Amino acid sequence: MDRLRVAGGVPLLGSVAVSGSKNAALPIMAASILADGPCTLAGLPAVTDVETMAQLLEALGLDVQQTGGNTLCIATVDPCPTTAPYELVQRMRASFCVLGPLLARRGRAVVSLPGGCNIGTRPVDLHLEGLAALGAVIRLDRGYVVAEAPRLRGATIDLRGPMGSTVTGTANVMAAACLAEGTTVIRGAAAEPEIVDLGHFLISAGARIDGLGTDAIEIRGVESLYGTQHRVIPDRIEAGTLLLAAAIATGTVSVEGARADHLTSVLEALAEAGVDVARGDDRITVHASDGPKAIDVIARPYPGIPTDLQAQFMALLSLADGSSTICDDVFPKRFLHAAELRRLGARIEQRAGTARVDGVYRLSGAKVVATDLRSGAALVLAGLAARGETIVGGLEHLDRGYDDLAAKLAALGANIQRESPALDAASALDSTTGIIPLRARSASEGLGVTTPKTLARASG
């Protein structure tokens, strides 16, 4: 049960590199199932969700080798397994991204239905409707989705749901359609950069796809895909989190490798909140010397402000001069972090899918717990600005999607330390503080996928 100890009040200064995108990496790793040859994926983030996907792919008969610091080579060695076990899908919903590739390549996919989730209702009806429109016969059997089709057939599919399109639903249907007979048109497709990146990966493996980045994607099916090499795009959510960290802690921070074109609405909102933003060729720099101005934030599908940055904006606006309103049009109930921010002194009132945030002059440190990945990031950011010490628990959420956020913030001067009480108890650490010195995990430990066989054996 690790936790982060953050002593607030230190301005941030310096440069930090953004890691590869988790939400691009996961569906691309899953789509490697489609290829006949090995796929080399570079620029992957060192996060536990990538480890989980590697374990799942091993369980599905793929060999996953770490061939460089942040590079995996993924190749099918046994094309027979078709079951994505409950234990893995329950750990990570993005495991559901193997459904389309498995079905298209192996004719059958048995994937546990994902359960509930802390960010609100997350159905998969659109994934299933899309694959059924391609000719799959789908049934539910003891908590598992069983999908079968000897060969999928192209079709016109609408993936618009009540909240707009679906990102991983588009990934599933687009990947499956690559090996379908004939042409598929996805209307109401997600236009997120992560879907565009998946499309580029598939094209590099021989797929024929048009319309990426728009809401109408056309896929002309091919007989087979070959092995390829691909580098995933930088993580726009991690970049946004680091920029918001500088905004809340004040200071001057450059995020190297961040793509301003993927963050247009976020940078506009930061500027509106009074933060200086400079877009460079391969970096974004922000400078904040005062507290933020109040602004209204509506999280929307791309190119809107991402729901995955809504919690971090709430942390920032807790300290704004005035009242802000925050809505989340993608996950209207994604507000569990509000209660934890209140424990730090934030004044947040929630009513029917809207949060009203009345800025306070100061937050005060307290013990808080992350309820999901992005709420964890928001609490760390709030801790950077709070008076005194904030202790953030629930780090297993943060580790799922941030490539050592604490080390990156520490490199910018933040007073932040990771503690491991378990190790402390074993006297492996400094007996007076129990503090583990921060270090660059990605460089020394890589992607942590060296022993994925353990789970493959456990799941049969």
39, 73, 80, 117: the catalytic one is 117
Sheet with 251-256: strands ordered across: 12-17, 251-256, 283-288, 276-279
Nearer to ligand EPZ, 5 or 374 (CB): 374
**Which position among 3, 374, 397, 408 is part of the footprint of ligand EPZ (CB under 6 A)?**
374
CB atoms within 10 A of CB 440: 13
Residue 166 contacts ligand EPZ per CB under 6 A: yes
Region binding ligand EPZ by CB under 6 A among candidate stretches 71-79, 99-107, 304-312, 415-423: 304-312
Nearer to ligand EPZ, 58 or 372 (CB): 372
User: How many angstroms from the chain centroid is the CA of residue 223?
Assistant: 31
What is the C-alpha to C-alpha distance for residues 362 and 429, in angstroms, rounded to an integer?
34
Q: How far is the CB of 373 from ligand EPZ (least distance, A)?
A: 5
Residues 97-126 that bind ligand EPZ (CB under 6 A): 119, 121-126
Could you tell me if 270 and 247 are in contact, meaning their C-beta atoms sit under 8 angstroms apart?
yes
117 is catalytic: yes
Q: How far is the CB of 50 from ligand EPZ (least distance, A)?
A: 11
Taking the CA atoms of residue 85, residue 138, residue 35 and residue 28 in that order, the dihedral angle to the nearest 10 degrees is -60
Query: Which residues, including other chains, have CB under 8 Å from residue 207's CB and lie 6 or more apart?
Result: 178, 199, 219, 222, 225
Nearer to ligand EPZ, 21 or 285 (CB): 21
Nearer to ligand EPZ, 94 or 174 (CB): 94
Residue 23 contacts ligand EPZ per CB under 6 A: yes
Q: How far is the CB of 304 from ligand EPZ (least distance, A)?
A: 10
Contact flags string 223-262 toward ligand EPZ, x per CB under 6 A: ----------------------------------------
**Which position among 401, 402, 414, 416 is part of the footprint of ligand EPZ (CB under 6 A)?**
401
3-class secondary structure, 255: strand
**Residue whose pair of structure tokens reads 């974004």 in the numeric block:** 284
Residue 307 contacts ligand EPZ per CB under 6 A: yes
Q: How far is the CB of 45 from ligand EPZ (least distance, A)?
A: 11
**Which position among 20, 169, 240, 251 is part of the footprint of ligand EPZ (CB under 6 A)?**
169
Nearer to ligand EPZ, 92 or 409 (CB): 92
CB atoms within 10 A of CB 121: 10
User: How many angstroms from the chain centroid is the CA of residue 212?
Assistant: 20
Nearer to ligand EPZ, 129 or 358 (CB): 129
The DSSP letter of residue 15 is E
Nearer to ligand EPZ, 350 or 420 (CB): 350
**Which position among 34, 131, 330, 412 is part of the footprint of ligand EPZ (CB under 6 A)?**
330
Nearer to ligand EPZ, 236 or 418 (CB): 236
User: How many angstroms from the chain centroid is the CA of residue 293?
Assistant: 28
**Which position among 51, 197, 308, 328 is part of the footprint of ligand EPZ (CB under 6 A)?**
308
Nearer to ligand EPZ, 116 or 162 (CB): 162
CB atoms within 10 A of CB 290: 9
What is the C-alpha to C-alpha distance for residues 417 and 409, in angstroms, rounded to an integer?
10
Region binding ligand EPZ by CB under 6 A among candidate stretches 57-65, 162-170, 246-254, 256-264: 162-170
**Which position among 28, 29, 47, 94 is part of the footprint of ligand EPZ (CB under 6 A)?**
94
Could you tell me if 188 and 215 are in contact, meaning their C-beta atoms sit under 8 angstroms apart?
yes
Could you tell me if 81 and 108 are in contact, meaning their C-beta atoms sit under 8 angstroms apart?
no
Residue 167 contacts ligand EPZ per CB under 6 A: yes
Rounded (5°) CA angle 375-376-379: 85
The DSSP letter of residue 387 is B
Contact flags string 119-158 toward ligand EPZ, x per CB under 6 A: x-xxxxxxx-------------------------------
Give which of 369, 354, 314 is closest to 338, Cα–Cα: 314
What is the C-alpha to C-alpha distance for residues 340 and 320, in angstroms, rounded to an integer?
18
The DSSP letter of residue 437 is P
Q: How far is the CB of 309 from ligand EPZ (least distance, A)?
A: 9
- The secondary structure element, H or E, covering residue 302 is none
The strand pairing partners of 278, in sequence order, are: 285
Residue 373 contacts ligand EPZ per CB under 6 A: yes
**Which position among 9, 107, 135, 161 is part of the footprint of ligand EPZ (CB under 6 A)?**
161
Looking at residue 345, its amino acid is: G
What is the C-alpha to C-alpha distance for residues 28 and 420, in angstroms, rounded to an integer?
33
Task: Report the interface residues with ligand EPZ, using CB under 6 A.
Answer: 23, 26, 93-94, 119, 121-127, 161-163, 166-169, 194, 306-308, 330-331, 373-374, 401
Give me the active site residues, please: 117
